[in-house]
Structure 1
Amino acid sequence: MLSDDMAMGMMEAALQKLARGFVTGAVPELKSDADGNLVTLTYESTIGGSPSGIPVHVLVHVALTEDPALADAAKDSIATP
């Protein structure tokens, strides 16, 4: 089990790893819906440092839209505990 502090540190590491990808050009592909109203980026990785020694799987999903209904639908599609 991860403490909040440990989880925050791992989130920071994952976001820094993604940010480095923007600098080096190793950015995940942007995907757009058929109408171009919703653009998404999904980044998957693993981060070490968990107490059990098992790598933690990271998924960062970014959705960009000007449509409030699409924003709500994108938000609803994300699994939360």
Structure 2
Amino acid sequence: MHGDPPPDMVGGVLSLWKSLSVTAAFVGAMIGGLVMEHTGSRSATVGALIWCGLPGAIMWIAIQHTNTPRPERL
């Protein structure tokens, strides 16, 4: 085991990831809107939303699980 980082550093990294994931989802929505405006196709919009928003959503969910203590279950 290497030395654990100080808790305030961990909190800073987590809040940075949280804001990055929110930004990624927002940018994905904007790109999706622009693509739909220019192409008029809904599938291209869904594709842009999935590719940009999904990583952000996954990061956000992972952060929520690491932040909240889980109840002990078998």
Q: TM-score, normalised by structure 2?
A: 0.40
Q: TM-score, normalised by structure 1?
A: 0.37
Rg larger in structure: 2
Larger relative contact order (C-alpha < 8 A, sep ≥ 6)? Answer: 2
